[in-house]
Structure 1
Amino acid sequence: MTKSVISTNGSIKVKNVNRIYVDANGNLVEALHNINLSIRPGEFISFIGPSGCGKTTLMRLIAGLDKPQSGELFLDNEKIKSTNFERGYVFQQANLFPWETIENNIAAGLKARKIYKEHKADVAEYIKLTGLEGFEKSYPHQISGGMAQRASLARALINNPKVLLLDEPLGALDAFTRMDLQDKLIELWERRGTTMVLVTHDVDEAIYLSDRIVVMTPRPGKIENIVDVKLDRPRNRNSSAFIELRKKILDNLHIATAH
């Protein structure tokens, strides 16, 4: 399967980024140390590493939700200074507005930007695209966790971001729902050509989805290795090439942890 859209926007550059914060006990904690990374337009890339290695910190910096002590981050050669609709963010929990219908949750960004009237038809399109037809008038408590995450994806994508940041959005789902949403993510990525950046603890998920996998060390977070995933799509989790690559990634993680 090949992508139907080849993107020319959505390149990310991370240059010499360091992030230090003060913990609850008043101690300085180095979360990220001298991170350098280039992400190509339309690429699907995953960050993987042990808990506390700075994966989510790096995502928050790209999103503009946080700032580094030193270094710079760029989207299409423009310095990232704050949040922007060009960088959509999907969290581990769906974070939908409980008092709004699924339809209104998806439209929230359009309404905040005051462009809802011009793009009203897009809401129905994204409901269809994410397989939520028939649930437009439902409220978040009336749908499953998997459906709620589909709504979160639709809410982020309807703003037509250059980059979609996925912070373990499938981590709380059961295995069947998780695999179903992995396929939905790939379908959306191939249709739209959006640059996608994923944080995950799941090696198989990273291999199944990504063009490249960034392996990070325990705190302070550094990039241990970047692994190219040169497997044809759709990918077979039981193929010998997939299993071999899984072993390579696990070996990289063990080396990163040893360091």
Structure 2
Amino acid sequence: MGVLDGRIALVTGGSSGIGLASAVALAAAGADVGIADLDADGGEAAVARIRAHGRRAVFQQVDATDETQVAGVVGQVVAELGGLDLAVNNVGDGELGRTVTTTSLESWNAIIGRSLTSTWLAMKYEIPAMAQRGGGAIVNMSSSAGVSPQTTASPAYAAAKAGVVHLTRYTARQYADQGIRVNAVAPGLTLTPRVEQWFAPDAIAGEVADSQFVHRAAAPEEVAAAVVYLCSPAAAMVTGHTLPVSGGVR
């Protein structure tokens, strides 16, 4: 039996990268999984991978900054899978080559929306659904850029991911009495499709050599392993914590 048998999860941003790896890992551990993402093709492919583990899965195309759509996907998971016990809030976005003075207001607002507002909005609807089941576990995706200054991260992204860290701790304290644990994961440089699009292999090698103890980028599956742990009974006394999966970012 898997450690998450009988649990029902929702993964936002679950069509690729860390979100996809987390969804598949949750399914491998025994959970049924709902996927929310803008990428319809990727979402349907994720559903197929979850079902290959013998688990139930649903997908809905969702803009994670649209309150009506977020409420709708939580409602769909509850209606079609039977409830909600676990959530991985993984939506986020950034840009390269920006500083405080070269970031536009439009870009700032968009990145804060996708990387921080989306996390709050997901929890707004996930928490009541979990409370109906007597509790649950939420894992929010932060970043090493949210806990350690990094010049490659845009200021909006760094601020948003730092906000995720504090929002996680704030929410964990507020809902602990309802049996809801809220933690975050802070990955370092991870070999997602976006990172591989942005950085050449030699640039990735240079980045990790200069900034962390373990001189390689993480695989999405390594981050997903931390997600499964935080969702599992083994982490029953872990809440309000941000777990770095960053190779020891300095």
The TM-score range, normalised by the shorter chain, is 0.3 to 0.5
TM-score if structure 2 supplies the norm length? 0.34
Name the one with the larger strand percent.
Answer: 1
**Higher RCO structure, 1 or 2 (CA under 8 Å, sep 6+):** 1
Name the one with the larger helix percent.
Answer: 2
Larger Rg: 1
